[in-house]
Amino acid sequence: MTKKKTEKKTEAEEQSSVIISPPDFAIASLLIKGTAPYVQNKFSQKALNQIKADQERGKSAKKRERKAKDFQAIYAGAQHVAEGDWLGIPAPAFRNAAISVCRICGYAMTKAKLSIFIEADGVDREDGMPLVKITKGEPRYIEHYVRNETGVVDLRARPMWQPGWESIVRIRFDLGQFSLDDITNLLIRVGTQVGVGEGRPDSKKSCGMGWGLFDVVSILGMQKVVFPRMGQAG
User: Per residue in 27-58, pLDDT tens?
Assistant: 999 999 999 999 999 864 455 555 555 565 66
With respect to residue 4, please indicate whether it lies within any of the assigned structural domains. Answer: no
pLDDT tens track for 139-181? 999 998 777 777 777 888 999 999 999 999 999 999 999 999 9
With respect to residue 15, please indicate whether it lies within any of the assigned structural domains. Answer: no
> Structurally, how many domains does the chain consist of?
1
Proportion of the chain above pLDDT 70, given as a percent: 81
Segment 112-128 mean pLDDT: 96
With respect to residue 8, please indicate whether it lies within any of the assigned structural domains. Answer: no
Which pTM was predicted?
0.81
With respect to residue 2, please indicate whether it lies within any of the assigned structural domains. Answer: no
With respect to residue 149, please indicate whether it lies within any of the assigned structural domains. Answer: yes
With respect to residue 136, please indicate whether it lies within any of the assigned structural domains. Answer: yes
22 contacts 227 by C-beta, under 8 angstroms: yes
198 contacts 39 by C-beta, under 8 angstroms: yes
Question: To 10 degrees, the CA torsion angle through 120, 125, 127, 129?
Answer: -10
Cα dist. 88→92, 160, 166, 206 in Å? 12, 12, 10, 24
With respect to residue 197, please indicate whether it lies within any of the assigned structural domains. Answer: yes
Q: What is residue 130's predicted lDDT score, i.e. its pLDDT?
A: 97
Residue 185, domain extent: 23-53+68-224
The whole-chain average pLDDT of the chain stands at 86
With respect to residue 60, please indicate whether it lies within any of the assigned structural domains. Answer: no
